[in-house]
Structure 1
Amino acid sequence: MIIRWWRAVAGSEDVLAHYADHLERTTFVEMAELPGHLGAALAVKVKGSDHELVVTSLWSDLESAAHFEKGAFDDAVVKPSTQKLLKSFDLKVEYFETVVATGKLAP
């Protein structure tokens, strides 16, 4: 299993709520239809007024994770409307290969 990892910062709780809604209504729905997609999550850590975000998606293999590829394999795909919304965001994503898992994540 491949974990695709991307970080960003929302400058307020309102921005976080808007972005979470966007992910739930569009991005996560679109991802769920792609072959090899195993799930996705948005996690947050509050630091003062900033909300540090981590978006993870799970894929059966690297080939499946490549559905996002627009440029280089590790380029983040961030729509212009999302770019305007967030305080900052990573330009690259990271991929991790799962070595051991338990529970619902276990193969």
Structure 2
Amino acid sequence: MIARVWRGWAADEGAADAYQRHYETEVGEHLQQVPGFRGARLLRGRDGGEILFTSITYFDGMDAVRGFAGDDPGLAVVEEDARRVLSRWDERVAHHEVAVAIGG
């Protein structure tokens, strides 16, 4: 299994709440349609004066990641709605093999 890790920042609570709603709805709906998608977590915390989001999505393998991200799986997928509310984001993502999984 592959974990795809990406980060984005929101300038204030209102923007952060808007991004979280976007992730729960549009991103979630899109991911559910990808063959080989195995789950996602969105982490939220403070980073100085901003709100930091870390998205971790899980896929069966890199072919499934390409089904979500396209031909360049290292390129971040940041939809226009997200770009409107985030102050900045990682342009590239990290992929890791899941070595150990405990619990759900």
Normalised by the length of structure 1, the TM-score is 0.88
Letter in structure 2 aligned against 1:59? F
Number of positions where the alignment pairs a residue of Structure 1 with one of Structure 2: 104
1:59 Cα deviation after fit: 0.7
2:72 maps to 1:72: yes
Q: Which whole-Å deviations, capped at 9, do the CAs of 1:36-93 have from their partners, x for residues lacking one?
A: 1111111011134310110111111111111233452200111233223211100001
CA contact (8 A) 1:3 1:59 kept: yes
CA distance in 2, matches of 1:7, 1:100: 22
Distance 2:49 2:63 in 1: 38
Question: Retained in 2: the 8 A contact 1:70–1:77?
Answer: no
**Aligned equivalent of 2:85:** 85
SS in 2 for 1:103: coil
Does the 8 A contact of 1:11 with 1:51 survive in 2?
yes
The answer as to whether partners of 2:16 and 2:85 remain within 8 angstroms in 1 is: no
Which runs of structure 1 show a deviation greater than 6 angstroms over 4 or more consecutive aligned residues? none
**Partner SS state of residue 75, structure 2:** coil
Runs of 5+ consecutive residues of structure 2 not aligned to the other structure: none
With structure 2 as the length reference, what TM-score do the two structures score?
Answer: 0.90
Look up the match of 1:8. 8
Q: How does 1:13-32 map to 2 (within 5 A)?
A: 13-32=13-32
RMSD: 1.4
| Fraction of identical pairs, as percent | 26
Separation (CA, whole Å) in 2 of partners of 1:12 and 1:48? 11
